[in-house]
Amino acid sequence: MAKVNLNGEWFDFDFERKPMSEALALEKATGQRYADWETELAAGSMAAMGALVWLIWRRNGREVPLEQIMDGTAEVDLAPLLDSLQALAAEAQGEDPTQSGTAPDHTPMTRTGTSPPSRRSTESGRGRSAS
């Protein structure tokens, strides 16, 4: 069971548990498919992060409407949230987050091995001139 820090409070959240009722509620609340939400969360989308906060609070008995998270009525301090998620990601990779020697970059969902950027459509391809 993971511990996630939301505004200085620690909440239990099992990232492996994915009940269908929760996925359906997330789809209804966000208007996007659950699989797309997971992809957006992994890519670092703040809208997806807001929905994660909504799920964490929901599982822990707090009924905060997603709209209040998205419009800032229910404010979320990102620093402790991202720090706790970064620590979980490091732990999952077998690293000791307290021994990294670097400050968290506040992008816990960004993979370290990102692929190189693709060619722009305006660049010339191999064997073709730019004119």
**Is residue 15, in this structure, part of any structural domain at all?**
yes
The range of the structural domain enclosing residue 63 comes to: 2-99
pLDDT at 115: 43
d(CA 96, CA 119) in angstroms, rounded, equals 37
Per residue in 10-34, pLDDT (tens digit) is: 999 999 999 999 999 999 999 999 9
**Contact (Cβ atoms closer than 8 angstroms) between residue 23 and residue 34:** yes
Quote the number of domains for the chain.
Answer: 1
pLDDT in tens, 55-71: 999 999 999 999 999 99
pLDDT of residue 95: 72
End-to-end CA gap in the chain = 58
109 found inside a domain: no
Q: What is the DSSP string of 86-102?
A: HHHHHHHTT--GGGS-S
Q: CA-CA distance, 76 to 5, in Å (whole number)?
A: 10
**Does residue 99 surpass a pLDDT of 80?**
no
Classify residue 9 as left (phi > 0), alpha (psi -120 to 50) or beta: beta
CB 101 within 8 A of CB 35: no
Which has more pLDDT, 10 or 96? 10
pLDDT band at 93 (very low <50, low <70, confident <90, very high): confident
| Segment 40-56 mean pLDDT | 96
Within a domain: 7: yes
pLDDT at 114 over 50: no
130 found inside a domain: no
Q: Please, are residues 48 and 37 in contact by the beta-carbon 8 Å criterion?
A: yes
Q: Is the pLDDT of residue 121 over 50?
A: no
Please compute the mean of the pLDDT values over residues 106-130 and round it to a whole number.
47
Closest CA to 76 of 16, 25, 23, 4: 4
Q: Give the strand pairing for 9-13 and 2-6.
A: antiparallel
The mean pLDDT of 88-103, rounded to a whole number, is 69
Does any domain span residue 90? yes
Say if 39 falls within a structural domain.
yes
116 in a domain, yes or no? no
Q: Is the pTM of this model over 0.75?
A: no
**What's the confidence (pLDDT) of residue 100?**
52
| Residue 125 covered by a domain | no
| Cα–Cα distance measured from residue 20 to residue 2, given in angstroms and rounded to the nearest whole number | 20
